[in-house]
Amino acid sequence: MNFTKLPEGRRPLIVASHERSGTHFTMNTLASCFDFISAPWVNFDHTSFNINYFASHAVADLIRQLAAVRPANIIKTHHAFEFFAEALPRCGDEISVIYVYRHPADVLASYWRFLHSWPWTEGPRCATVLEFATSEPMGRLMRLQYRQAPTMLDRWADHVQRWLDAAARSPSIHLVRYEDLDGDFAATVDQLGEALGLRPSGLTRPSRSENVVGHGRVPFEPVAGADNRWAVAELAMVRHRGLMARLGYGAALPSRAAPNGIEDQASVSAAITKV
């Protein structure tokens, strides 16, 4: 692709996240407020680059090459941190990273719908969000993970935990919570600018859906009660209480989550026992 070059003195930017975490809303914000380019983006998730992603030196060399070009186009990735573990320490002075995270119940509910809409095996297809959260990762999505996880919920937790730990060690990795960007836009943009060493060129809130990778062409209409993300929220508080507290997610339910009765509560109890 043809890159638009950043002005002198500005670093290119990687936006990383677990799938369906508000990645493009964050990218659109960076474009709207800091004059990056969110479309076309540099897609690190697919085979745009003919490298072995599991060869750390190959990823490091590619990041160095991209940093040297200094694209204004945002580099987008959903890869686990380990893919960048060698590259980012080597390129810390040349490139910045924004890692965006979101409540796991909303992440997995969105991902559950997304995976049903493709005519290939992108990942597990399950009847409910809770079943999806407790299913084993499989299919094409595994290209983005470095190791196997027992469940999709654990895959999310591993992804977030390792990027958060990396951010604690590196001044070039900055964190954004999706709910803060959505609910307190101006203050979160100011914090982003401070982290990046940039002054916002404006505070125009972009669309949350613009440039988002939408659903595929396969129709999917879940039955009533199948989007039981509240149950995933409860399960996350049991299995990953420390991480949820670190992220600022307490006992409050995520967006659009509401219990559906005794049968769903029994499903949560069964899921906790299962995993």
pLDDT bucket at 223, cuts 50 / 70 / 90 = very high
For residue 261, is pLDDT > 80? no
Q: What's the pLDDT at 46?
A: 76
Choose between 208 and 137: higher pLDDT. Answer: 137
Cα 58 from Cα 60, distance rounded (Å): 5
Q: Dump pLDDT digits (tens) for 52-63.
A: 999 999 999 999
Q: Dump pLDDT digits (tens) for 27-60.
A: 999 999 999 999 999 999 876 788 999 999 999 9
Cα 12 from Cα 63, distance rounded (Å): 10
For residue 270, is pLDDT > 80? no
**Fold type of domain 13-207+222-274:** Rossmann fold (3.40.50)
Q: What's the pLDDT at 262?
A: 43
Q: What's the pLDDT at 266?
A: 57
Cα 34 from Cα 80, distance rounded (Å): 26
| Residue 148 amino acid letter | Q
- Worst-scoring range by mean pLDDT, 16-20, 88-92, 155-159? 88-92
Report the candidate in 83, 82, 19, 72 with the shortest Cα–Cα distance to residue 49.
83
Answer whether 19's CB lies under 8 Å from 78's CB.
Answer: yes
Domain assignments of the chain as residue spans, ordered by start: 13-207+222-274
For residue 173, is pLDDT > 60? yes
